[in-house]
Amino acid sequence: MPLVWLGVGAVAALVTGIVARGLSRRRTADFYTAFMAATAFIYVGASLGRGDLRVLILETVIALVLFNLALAGLWRSLAFTAIAFFLHGAWDLLHLLRGWGADAGSSFPALCIAYDWVIAGFIWSLPQIREDKASRAIAG
């Protein structure tokens, strides 16, 4: 596994997380939702050059699931967006280790694994996640 790319992804995610911490609650949700929406469709673009309809369909279905999780994160709880980033990182891992899906080389999935999982952790640690959990516990 290209360790240098894992490191680059982790550092990039740390910088992103630190910058996003300075945003308002609403802008933080908007930022992470927009970022996940773009991230979800990266492999769809990579699959277009491959010419394999099955890979394009697979990547599109996964992208749509992740996109909808991001929307749920915007509308319901950012926990859904954190889950979307975690799942995208798992999909990156399958690209890297098993060669599943679109061919994005080895450096991009490695970078993305670290980036997605660190960002998922940042989102999960946000105060609004804890507030969402607390309000559901009180209401439930």
pLDDT tens-digit readout, 75-118: 988 999 999 999 999 999 998 888 888 888 778 889 999 999 99
Structure tokens at 37: 């929406």
* Residue range 30-36: mean pLDDT, rounded: 91
Higher pLDDT, 20 or 51: 20
Alpha carbon separation from 7 to 21, 24, 90, 104 (Å, rounded): 21, 28, 17, 18
- Reported confidence tier of residue 51, pLDDT bands at 50, 70, 90: confident
Give me the pLDDT at residue 120, please.
95
Q: What is the distance of C-alpha 79 from the center of its chain?
A: 12
Give me the pLDDT at residue 56, please.
92
CA–CA gap between residue 140 and residue 137 (Å, rounded): 5
Q: Does 138 have pLDDT greater than 90?
A: no
Task: Output the average pLDDT for the chain.
Answer: 87
Q: Does 129 have pLDDT greater than 90?
A: no
CA–CA gap between residue 37 and residue 99 (Å, rounded): 23
